[in-house]
Amino acid sequence: MAEKILVTGGAGYIGSHCVLELAEAGYVPVVIDNFHNAIRGADALPESLRRVQQIVHQPILFQELDITNEAALQELFSKHRFSAVMHFAGLKAVGESVQKPLEYYRVNLTGTIRLLETMKAHGVRNIVFSSSATVYGDPKYLPLDENHPVGGCTNPYGKSKYFIEEMIRDLCKAERDWNAVLLRYFNPIGAHESGMIGEDPQGIPNNLMPYVAQVAVGRREFLSVFGNDYKTDDGTGVRDYIHVVDLAKGHIAALKKLKENCGCKIYNLGTGTGYSVLQMVQAMEKASGREIKYKITGRREGDVASCYANPALAERELGWKAAFGLDKMCEDLWRWQLQNPTGFSKN
């Protein structure tokens, strides 16, 4: 029997790419999502998952469900026998988290507590958690390895990821039969090479590359570059960008790690290479063959100058390494944007 994996928030950008990789690796993903970051498609399925079905030529099990709804979670776990959970569901906009901290703590923390309690009640003790490099705060040294101090987060979104990591670590310490892999993502970009699924921000993009792609496709007039006075080669912020398909494959490697009764393990998922905002703009100009207009504005609160990973531990212990470089990330992003100028929506 193929193993069933519960994927919370599986209709979102990273979740949908992981669902695709799960299906291709022979698992049976069961997806829950509340449509907070997803567009509704045909047959009450999220449009992203409808397209995943087309790519993998098999149906994807889906239920509309909010992880803060305990009764609905209990019912779901009674219906399916899960071998593990991949937990992506949560609010994720840094700027919005500063304006609505309570909402972020309510959804991200309470939702995760309900999920863990339900897992415990039904004897499911394996979880892969979607964490973030934001838990490191302002880097004390670079590249960032997993031993770097955490918790000095610059916004409630990052703090919610840090608190969830702590909850899961404490749980694994208290109950030895739990296994968890906490994956700290750097900056996922790109799209599946089919061009059928990709990042579709609702409203104004919070992340750099969707914004750059929307300028290239003509949806937005210019890019605002927040600050060019950082201590970097060209003065703009430097980040570690990772192809979303590489990231998704990291989750498959994490699932295999759980099988070793690994306890609680933490891994960076990044490439180890940092690129500046202006380097990313140039790479996207190359991929799209179009000029990308930008204006320099003031620094954005909470941004750090440079942030990139030391991904050696994931390679050593998970056998995982990012395979795709910057050109491939930008080419795949551009194909997605060109084929879907307004994202998953039809207008």
- Going by the DSSP 8-state scheme, the letter that residue 300 receives in this structure is P
Of 104, 157, 211, 230, the catalytic one is: 157
The amino acid present at 149, given as its one-letter code, is: P
- Going by the DSSP 8-state scheme, the letter that residue 315 receives in this structure is H
Q: How high is the pLDDT of residue 301?
A: 79
Residues of the chain with pLDDT under 50: 347
Q: How high is the pLDDT of residue 19?
A: 98
Strand order in the sheet with 61-64: 61-64, 28-33, 4-8, 82-87, 126-132, 179-185, 264-269
Strands 238-243, 126-132: pairing is: unpaired
Q: How far apart are CA 166 and CA 229, in angstroms?
A: 35
How would you classify residue 184: left for phi > 0, otherwise alpha for psi between -120 and 50, otherwise beta? Answer: beta
Are the CB atoms for 286 and 292 separated by under 8 Å?
no
Q: How far apart are CA 221 and CA 215, in angstroms?
A: 6
Q: How high is the pLDDT of residue 334?
A: 98
Output the pTM of the full model.
0.97
Q: How high is the pLDDT of residue 318?
A: 98
Residue 157 is among the residues annotated as catalytic for this protein: yes
Q: Where are the domains of the chain?
A: 4-339
Q: Render pLDDT for 58-75 as a digit per residue (tens, 0 to 9).
A: 999 999 999 999 999 999
Q: Classify domain 4-339 at the CATH topology level.
A: Rossmann fold (3.40.50)
Q: How high is the pLDDT of residue 186?
A: 97
> Roughly what angle, to the nearest 10 degrees, separates helices 244-258 and 13-24?
60
